[in-house]
Amino acid sequence: MTRKERYDYILEYFRQNVGEVTTELMFGSAFQLLCATLLSAQCTDKRINEITPALFHRYPDAKTMAAAEVEEIFEYVKSVSYPNSKAKHLVEMSRMLVDDFGGEVPSNPDELVKLPGVGRKTANVIQAVWFGKPTLAVDTHVYRVSHRLGLVPKDANNPRKVEDYLMKNIPINEVSSAHHWILLHGRYICKSARPMCEKCQFEFFCPKLLEDSKLG
């Protein structure tokens, strides 16, 4: 099966069986989505959704969070990964939003990545989910599944290379959906340590016997 045939088969399967999907993070505004996405790095969405209701009730927008101390935010996020740095980033990010953007989340990716704690992946999530732009965030799930299913070549050895390769091969109008299709497949089926191959619809052509493919 050629790589193009892989894309055609996988995308068609998701179109027919999954349909339109979006992030599993809970949020009520662009600011809250930004906070939740920042917090979700190296952490599950389930955990983030458990702690953000209380956080957003107390600090619903950039103005209220900008007025908080890092120690106060830490108490709300202490159960997530890297709570000290994330609490610091949330406060600093909120203060920059207030000082430089009137408290509003910018849509420009160059401005987004200037915010403390916001990298390309987070910026792409905000652009796709909130602003409806055709961007594709490559997290650990997308990176892993793209390699395991042979959607990208072996030399696509960093998130940006994977992103660029996927963007060239996925129809522009399906980029945002495809991001979530691949991500959710990695989260629930093609898991890191114990992939559930018996439940995978792509098992019959998965290049799992190739070097560094299935468990790489």
Q: Hey, which residues are catalytic here?
A: 121, 139
Burial of 145 (0-12, 13-18, 19+ CB in 10 A): buried
Residue 163 tokens read as: 């992103």
What is the number of H-type helices and E-type strands within the chain?
11, 0
Nearest to 159 by CA among 178, 138, 180: 138
How big is the chain, counted in residues? 216
What is the rounded CA–CA span in Å between residue 69 and residue 78?
14
**If DSSP codes are grouped into helix, strand and coil, which group holds residue 195?**
coil
Residue 8 tokens read as: 């055609």
175-188 helix and 140-148 helix, angle to the nearest 10 degrees: 90
What is the rounded CA–CA span in Å between residue 147 and residue 215?
10
